[in-house]
Amino acid sequence: MYTVNLHKALASLATATLESVVEERFGSRCARIFRLLLRKKHLEQKQVEDFAMIPAKEAKEMLYKMLSENFVSLQEIPKTPDHAPSRTFYLYTVNVPSSARMLLHRCYKCNKNAMVVAIMPSRWPLWPP
């Protein structure tokens, strides 16, 4: 008898959707970084630059752009208990469930805005000029 692992199938679908959205929004280089983070789980900025073969300045900008849009998260691992920035590892990672949830929330927000425009087109834009 055959069984389908639905949990794994849905996780693969969410990951593929996130990869597609990152490529559409940020470009192919950011998608390369995103896929790299998905495969390697946790990477420092220098490791991302080396593995993705992208110049340091561009990689830094792309990582910060994805971080600000909540597609990538940053995990701090202190070497010492005082959490000094110079003695702390900063690891970039992708949390697929939270990123997928954030993307779903954005879709709901877009749908709500489209419904508001369809119901009351005279009130668009929603903010006063």
- Owning domain of residue 93: 6-121
At residue 129, does pLDDT exceed 60?
no
3-state secondary structure labels for all residues of the chain: CCCCCHHHHHHHHHHHHHHHHHHHHHCHHHHHHHHHHHHHCCECHHHHHHHHCCCHHHHHHHHHHHHHCCCCEEEEEECCCCCCHHHEEEEEECCHHHHHHHHHHHHHHHHHHHHHHHHCHHHCCCCCC
The tens digit of pLDDT for each residue in 109-125 reads 999 988 887 777 666 66
Q: Quick check: is 127 in a domain?
A: no
CATH number for the domain spanning 12: value is 1.10.10.10
Q: Quick check: is 34 in a domain?
A: yes
pLDDT of residue 38: 93
Angle at 39 between CA 34 and CA 45, to 5 degrees: 55
Q: Quick check: is 1 in a domain?
A: no
Q: Quick check: is 115 in a domain?
A: yes
Q: Quick check: is 24 in a domain?
A: yes
CB atoms within 10 A of CB 80: 9
CB atoms within 10 A of CB 50: 13
Q: Quick check: is 128 in a domain?
A: no
Rounded distance between C-alpha atoms, residue 108 and residue 89, angstroms? 36
Number of domains in the chain: 1
The tens digit of pLDDT for each residue in 34-77 reads 999 999 999 988 999 889 899 999 999 999 999 999 999 998 88
